[in-house]
């Protein structure tokens, strides 16, 4: 009996009443064929169609007997697995249930993962890394980045959602976002911003006056006082007119 191993070729000449036993393990594949021979000259004999007797086996494990063929001839077993465990189904569409891939996986075609209610997890431990670096710009949406393991971020453009512009209604405002616009009302020197993104007094609020013409009296932002959920923004003087300010909240 021939036990199939990757890349193996077996050839054996047998009598008319002898078959050829094949033991094919899981994940190997190949072909066994028979060519009748002239018992005296050893030359191939018979018609071409007779010489075409063959059988494929694998990739499932199987044991079988090929023959006897009723004629003297040569049995040839060719394993077309390129190495142990490799199955070449290049031209096939394959549907798998659960797949466990213990070696390297290379995908040279498109990869689509868009099913509902299932998750992808790329979290190699140890020295494993994840690299995302397409030649053509791709997109990342709806993801929180660095929440537990912050890294370095570098952008050629940086945008923070302009949550709200309340400068048309000067005075205190509630804007629950990372960036906003509001106004210190004429006659006031400060304004209170209520914002849930000030998660603690350790949050920061960076503020700049944002208008084309300087106010006659409130000409700069002097300081802020951040507490949980709010920041009081102070100008240097009582404003003559409404003073529009831009701010960003950083937690």
Subset of residues 106 to 135 that bind other proteins, contact rule: CB under 8 A: 106-113, 115-116, 118-135
Q: Which two tokens stand for residue 159?
A: 């945008």
Q: How many residues of this chain bind other proteins (CB under 8 A)?
A: 107
Q: Which of 40, 43, 143, 213 binds other proteins (CB under 8 A)?
A: 143
At residue 48, the 3 state secondary structure works out as helix
Name which of residues 4 to 33 contact other proteins (CB under 8 A). 27, 29
| Residue matched to tokens 């499932």 | 60
Q: Which of 1, 40, 43, 92 binds other proteins (CB under 8 A)?
A: 92
d(C-alpha 39, C-alpha 81), whole Å? 32
Name which of residues 222 to 241 contact other proteins (CB under 8 A). 222-226, 232, 234, 236
Q: Which of 204, 214, 216, 228 binds other proteins (CB under 8 A)?
A: 204
- Phi then psi for residue 49, to 5 deg, are -65, -35
Strand partners, 191: 233
Q: Which two tokens stand for residue 85?
A: 């465990």
Name which of residues 49 to 68 contact other proteins (CB under 8 A). 49-50, 55-56, 59
Q: Which two tokens stand for residue 102?
A: 């213990």
Binding region for other proteins (CB under 8 A) out of 8-16, 17-25, 166-174, 204-212 = 204-212
Q: Which two tokens stand for residue 164?
A: 């709200």
Q: Which of 1, 41, 43, 101 binds other proteins (CB under 8 A)?
A: 101
Minimum distance of other proteins from residue 188's CB (angstroms): 15
Q: Is 212 in the site for other proteins (CB under 8 A)?
A: no
Name which of residues 163 to 182 contact other proteins (CB under 8 A). 163, 177-178
Cβ(198)–Cβ(250) below 8 Å: no
* C-alpha distances in Å from residue 33, one per residue of 12, 18, 238: 11, 14, 98
Minimum distance of other proteins from residue 240's CB (angstroms): 18
Q: Is the dihedral of CA 93, 121, 130, 152 positive or negative?
A: positive
Minimum distance of other proteins from residue 20's CB (angstroms): 15
Residues counted in the chain: 251
Q: Which of 207, 238, 241, 243 binds other proteins (CB under 8 A)?
A: 207
At residue 24, the 3 state secondary structure works out as strand
């Amino acid at each position: 009996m021939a036990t199939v191993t990757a890349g193996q070729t077996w050839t054996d000449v047998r009598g008319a009443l002898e078959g050829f036993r094949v033991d094919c393990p899981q994940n190997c594949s190949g072909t066994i064929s028979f060519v009748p021979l002239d018992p005296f000259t050893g030359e191939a004999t018979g018609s071409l169609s007779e010489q075409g007797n063959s059988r494929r086996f694998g990739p499932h494990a199987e044991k079988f007997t090929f023959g006897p063929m009723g004629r003297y001839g040569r049995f040839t077993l060719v394993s077309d697995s390129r190495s142990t465990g490799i199955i070449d189904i290049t031209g096939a569409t394959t549907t798998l249930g659960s797949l466990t891939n213990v070696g390297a996986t290379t995908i040279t075609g498109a990869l689509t993962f868009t099913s509902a209610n299932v998750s992808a997890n790329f979290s190699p431990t140890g020295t494993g890394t994840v690299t995302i670096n397409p030649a053509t710009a791709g997109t990342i949406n709806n993801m929180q980045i660095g929440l537990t393991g912050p890294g370095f971020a570098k952008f050629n453009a940086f945008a923070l959602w302009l949550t709200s512009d309340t400068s048309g209604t000067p005075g205190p405002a509630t804007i629950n976002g990372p960036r906003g616009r509001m106004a210190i009302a004429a006659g006031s020197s400060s304004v209170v911003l209520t914002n849930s993104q000030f998660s603690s007094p350790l949050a920061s609020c960076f503020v700049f006056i944002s208008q084309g013409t300087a106010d006659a009296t409130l000409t700069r932002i002097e300081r802020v006082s951040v507490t949980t959920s709010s920041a009081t923004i102070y100008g240097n003087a009582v404003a003559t007119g409404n003073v529009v300010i831009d701010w960003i909240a950083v937690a």
